[in-house]
């Protein structure tokens, strides 16, 4: 299958399943990524995200179904296809006796590229590791190891980057730096990015489209904004000049002092709400609106209230 | 027939480079890995060999009868050299895989464009290099002992045969290390293979004694030990005599290499690259 520009999709799965003994880690998952997008794969712990990434990177053999990278079945283990993918695994990795620079040189060699110091130093510079290039991986801190893994995944200039919780256990400043870098390579090198993360606010800011999986099953997939709109409600707090008469009102949730709290559908305006509740605008002292967030959508999917 | 154009030749060269360079890189990394810890990988076998030669070759050797006219020290040297070579070849590939499983970087080999065949050959050649380096160190020490004891060097009778057995032995045990490394699920599994299978087979494979000194029953039993053929092949290369006909030794050695290549290929294709 190809996308609208006749380019193969960076990633595509069809009815993909993985069963470990009697445990269904993936249940007929079908999804695809558009070329050049940053796509979020969201789900609670044990949802099957890492298994899916494992299948896409050849580390896990699927029980049934197909996974394709740039149009080729991953089970064929084509060398040309492997060159297009970079993987940042969830778990931190060490490399025994080798230094940061040595590992990156060897990884370039594995991809059939002569070690290119410019590329290596560019990535180390961007990821704040240039001063640590002679250190062994064991000597790096957790955050440095995460950044090193990103450099390692990008050293051969892949076209698809698989990021499996790259910011787990990383402080907020570093997380922002990493996401800025992901945006940059997405823009400048045209790298399509699949990421999994537990930081839903970051996923909301970064990903144009997301998929939510739970217990191995694909629950929702689509543009982030559309999912939020579909699965969440707006919260409206209306503070009145004087205490209102107590009576039943549509969308009413809570009443505190002079304040009504409502939740309304995303396609409903505040004007319509006030009209339906028969609240004259001159009685309104203050209005606060909180739009639905990806986190709310995520929780709604997990609780089955979508 | 048309000559290929310059661009065709260049693209062919590029394709060849992209196929060979990943293999070359893994081979280089395997060699670099053992050189990083040279004290442990080459220094320790040097000390071991010196002790064996001193205790068995020089001290006890004087009371042991000659072997086809050669003193016991001459009998011991080829066996000792092959024992070091086989042991170190096995340890190089097995510890590389098991160490990578522990560190979590073994999965790199699965996601990069290296075929199973390239992985097996690059790792077994890396193992062979370590085996040959250690064998060279062992021979150097041995020659010093021989020179001091007998006033001359021990010159190999069939140097090409000696080299052939060393290369086949190193590749076979490097390949065995890959197979054992991939199927091991813990460090204990790897150690168990080394301690309970390889070590007894090595010691009973004719390193320290000729099987002709054994009871006929045990001579028959010894013949099912494949290491006997490797060690006697090398002994033939050195001394021109051995307990096993050199043709049989060569055939068993080559068959062992082919069999273990198949096992290693299977383990790389079907084994787990995941972290322990």
Write out pLDDT tens, residues A154-196. Answer: 999 999 999 999 988 788 888 888 899 999 999 999 999 999 9
- pLDDT category of residue A150 using cuts at 50, 70 and 90: very high
pLDDT score recorded for residue B69:
87
pLDDT score recorded for residue A253:
72
- pLDDT top residue among A274 and B124: B124
For residue A92, the chain B residue with the least C-alpha distance is: B104
pLDDT score recorded for residue A283:
86
The model's pLDDT over A58-87, given as tens digits with 9 standing for 90+, comes to 899 999 999 999 999 999 888 999 999 999
pLDDT at position A276 over 90:
no
pLDDT, average across residues B220-235: 94
| CATH number of the domain encompassing residue A62 | 3.40.50.300
Angle between the B72-103 and B159-183 helix axes, to the nearest 10 degrees?
30
Q: Do B103 and A87 touch (CB under 8 A)?
A: no
pLDDT at position B270 over 90:
no
The model's pLDDT over A136-147, given as tens digits with 9 standing for 90+, comes to 999 999 889 999
Provide the CA A213 distance to its chain's centre, in angstroms. 12
Q: Where are the beta strands (DSSP E) in A70-118?
A: 72-73, 85-88
Percent of chain B predicted with pLDDT > 90: 74
* Domain co-membership, A224 together with A242: no
pLDDT score recorded for residue A3:
53
pLDDT, average across residues A242-253: 69
Share the mean pLDDT of chain B: 92
For residue A152, the chain B residue with the least C-alpha distance is: B108
* Domain co-membership, A68 together with A93: yes
Chain B interface mutation, best of A70, A72, A109, A138, highest count of B Cβ atoms under 10 Å: A109
Q: Where are the beta strands (DSSP E) in A34-104?
A: 38-42, 64-69, 72-73, 85-88
Is A297 inside a domain boundary? no
- pLDDT category of residue A292 using cuts at 50, 70 and 90: confident
* Domain co-membership, A61 together with A170: yes
Is A130 inside a domain boundary? yes
**Burial track B112-138 (b if 16+ CB lie within 10 A, e otherwise):** bbbbbebbbbbbbbbbbbbbbbbbebb
Question: Please, what sign has the CA dihedral across residues B97, A98, A89, B22?
Answer: negative
In Å, what is the CA distance from A212 to each residue of A25, A29, A164, A265, A294? 14, 11, 15, 21, 11
pLDDT score recorded for residue B115:
94
* Domain co-membership, A60 together with A206: yes
* Domain co-membership, A202 together with A75: yes
Using the 3D structure, point to which of A228, A248, A282 is the last residue of a domain. Answer: A228
ipTM of the complex: 0.89
Distance from CA of A94 to the nearest CA of B (A): 5
* Domain co-membership, A223 together with A249: no
Q: How many distinct structural domains can be found in chain A? A: 2
pLDDT score recorded for residue A200:
92
Asked if B237 and B249 touch (Cβ cutoff 8 Å), the reply is no
User: Which residues of B are less than 8 Å from A114 in CB distance?
Assistant: 21
Is A306 inside a domain boundary? no
Q: Which of A114-123, A224-233, B119-128 has the lowest mean pLDDT?
A: A224-233
pLDDT at position A284 over 80:
yes
Q: Does A177 touch chain B (CB under 8 A)?
A: no
Q: Which of A237-251, B6-20, B24-38, B231-245 has the lowest mean pLDDT?
A: A237-251
Percent of chain A predicted with pLDDT > 70: 95
pLDDT at position B255 over 80:
yes
- pLDDT category of residue B1 using cuts at 50, 70 and 90: low
Q: Does A90 touch chain B (CB under 8 A)?
A: no
Using the 3D structure, point to which of A209, A228, A247 is the last residue of a domain. Answer: A228
* pTM for this predicted structure: 0.89
| Longest CA span, chain A | 78
Q: Residue holding tokens 């204990």?
A: B188
Is A129 inside a domain boundary? yes
Q: Do B112 and A87 touch (CB under 8 A)?
A: no
pLDDT at position A264 over 90:
no
Q: Do B113 and A85 touch (CB under 8 A)?
A: no
- Length, in residues, of chain B: 276
* Domain co-membership, A171 together with A49: yes
Give the tokens for residue B2.
């048309």
Q: Give residue A180's domain range.
A: 4-228
pLDDT score recorded for residue B127:
98
pLDDT at position A265 over 90:
no
Is A202 inside a domain boundary? yes
pLDDT score recorded for residue A186:
95
pLDDT score recorded for residue A306:
58
User: Which residues of B are less than 8 Å from A89 in CB distance?
Assistant: 104, 107
Asked if A264 and A233 touch (Cβ cutoff 8 Å), the reply is yes
* Domain co-membership, A216 together with A157: yes
Which of the listed ranges A2-6, B55-59, B108-112 does the model predict with the highest average pLDDT?
B108-112
User: Which residues of A are less than 8 Å from B99 in CB distance?
Assistant: 96
* Domain co-membership, A103 together with A84: yes
- Give the span between the Cα atoms of A217 and A43, in whole angstroms: 10
* Domain co-membership, A153 together with A273: no
pLDDT score recorded for residue B201:
92
Q: Is A203 helix (H, G, I), strand (E, B) or coil?
A: helix
Q: Residue holding tokens 């606010």?
A: A201
- Give the span between the Cα atoms of A160 and A85, in whole angstroms: 5
* Domain co-membership, A37 together with A106: yes
Is A305 inside a domain boundary? no
Q: Do B273 and A59 touch (CB under 8 A)?
A: yes
* Domain co-membership, A22 together with A58: yes
Q: Which of A17-31, A244-258, B82-96 has the lowest mean pLDDT?
A: A244-258
Asked if B127 and B177 touch (Cβ cutoff 8 Å), the reply is yes
Is A87 inside a domain boundary? yes
Q: Does A270 touch chain B (CB under 8 A)?
A: no
pLDDT at position A6 over 70:
no
pLDDT, average across residues A258-274: 85
pLDDT, average across residues B51-77: 86
Is A295 inside a domain boundary? no
């Amino acid at each position: 299958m190809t996308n609208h520009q006749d380019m193969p999709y960076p990633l595509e799965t069809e009815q993909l399943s993985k069963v470990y003994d009697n445990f269904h880690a993936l249940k007929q998952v079908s999804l695809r990524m558009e070329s050049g997008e940053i796509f979020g794969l969201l789900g609670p712990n044990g949802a099957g995200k890492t298994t899916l990434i494992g299948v896409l990177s050849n580390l896990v053999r699927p029980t049934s179904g197909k996974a394709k990278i740039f149009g080729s079945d991953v089970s064929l283990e084509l060398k040309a296809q492997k060159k297009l993918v970079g993987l940042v695994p969830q778990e931190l990795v060490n490399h025994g006796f080798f230094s940061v620079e040595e590992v990156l040189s060897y990884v370039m060699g594995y991809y059939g590229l002569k070690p290119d110091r410019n590329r290596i130093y560019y990535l180390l510079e961007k990821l704040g590791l240039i001063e640590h290039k002679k250190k062994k991986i064991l000597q790096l801190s957790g955050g440095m190891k995460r950044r090193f893994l990103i450099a390692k995944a990008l050293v051969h200039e892949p076209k698809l980057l698989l990021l499996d919780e790259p910011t787990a256990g990383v402080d907020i400043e570093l997380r922002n730096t990493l996401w800025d870098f992901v945006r940059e390579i997405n823009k400048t090198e045209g790298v399509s990015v699949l990421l999994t993360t537990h930081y839903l606010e970051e996923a909301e800011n970064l990903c144009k489209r997301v998929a939510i999986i739970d217990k191995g099953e694909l629950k929702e997939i689509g543009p982030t904004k559309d999912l939020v709109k579909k699965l969440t409600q707006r919260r409206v707090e209306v503070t009145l000049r004087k205490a209102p008469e107590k009576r039943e009102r549509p969308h009413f949730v809570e009443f505190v002092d002079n304040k009504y709290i409502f939740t309304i559908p995303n396609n409903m305006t505040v004007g319509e709400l006030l009209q339906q509740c028969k609240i004259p605008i001159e009685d309104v002292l203050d209005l606060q609106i909180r739009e639905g967030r990806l986190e709310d959508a995520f929780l709604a999917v997990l609780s089955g209230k979508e | 027939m048309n000559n290929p154009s310059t661009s065709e030749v260049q693209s062919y060269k590029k394709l060849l480079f992209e196929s060979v360079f990943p293999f070359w890189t893994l081979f280089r990394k395997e060699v670099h890995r053992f050189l990083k810890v040279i004290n442990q990988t080459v220094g320790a076998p040097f000390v071991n060999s010196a002790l064996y030669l001193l205790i068995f070759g020089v001290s006890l050797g004087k009371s042991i009868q000659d072997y086809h006219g050669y003193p016991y020290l001459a009998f011991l040297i080829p066996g000792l050299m092959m024992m070091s070579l086989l042991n170190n070849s096995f340890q190089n590939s097995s510890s590389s895989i098991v160490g990578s499983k522990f560190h979590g970087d073994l999965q790199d080999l699965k996601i990069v464009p290296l075929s199973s065949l390239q992985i097996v050959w690059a790792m077994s050649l890396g193992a062979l290099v370590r085996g040959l380096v250690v064998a060279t160190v062992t021979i150097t020490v041995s020659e010093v002992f021989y020179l001091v004891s007998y006033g001359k060097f021990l010159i190999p009778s069939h140097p090409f045969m000696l080299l052939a057995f060393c290369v086949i032995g190193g590749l076979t045990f490097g390949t065995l290390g890959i197979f054992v490394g991939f199927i091991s699920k813990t460090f204990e599994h790897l150690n168990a293979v080394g301690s309970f299978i390889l070590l007894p087979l090595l010691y009973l494979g004719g390193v320290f004694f000729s099987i002709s000194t054994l009871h006929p029953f045990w001579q028959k039993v010894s013949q099912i030990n494949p290491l006997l053929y490797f060690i006697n092949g090398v002994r033939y290369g050195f001394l021109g005599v051995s307990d096993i006909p050199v043709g049989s030794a060569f055939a068993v050695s080559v068959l062992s290499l082919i069999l273990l290549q198949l096992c290693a290929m299977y383990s790389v294709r079907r084994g787990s690259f995941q972290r322990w």
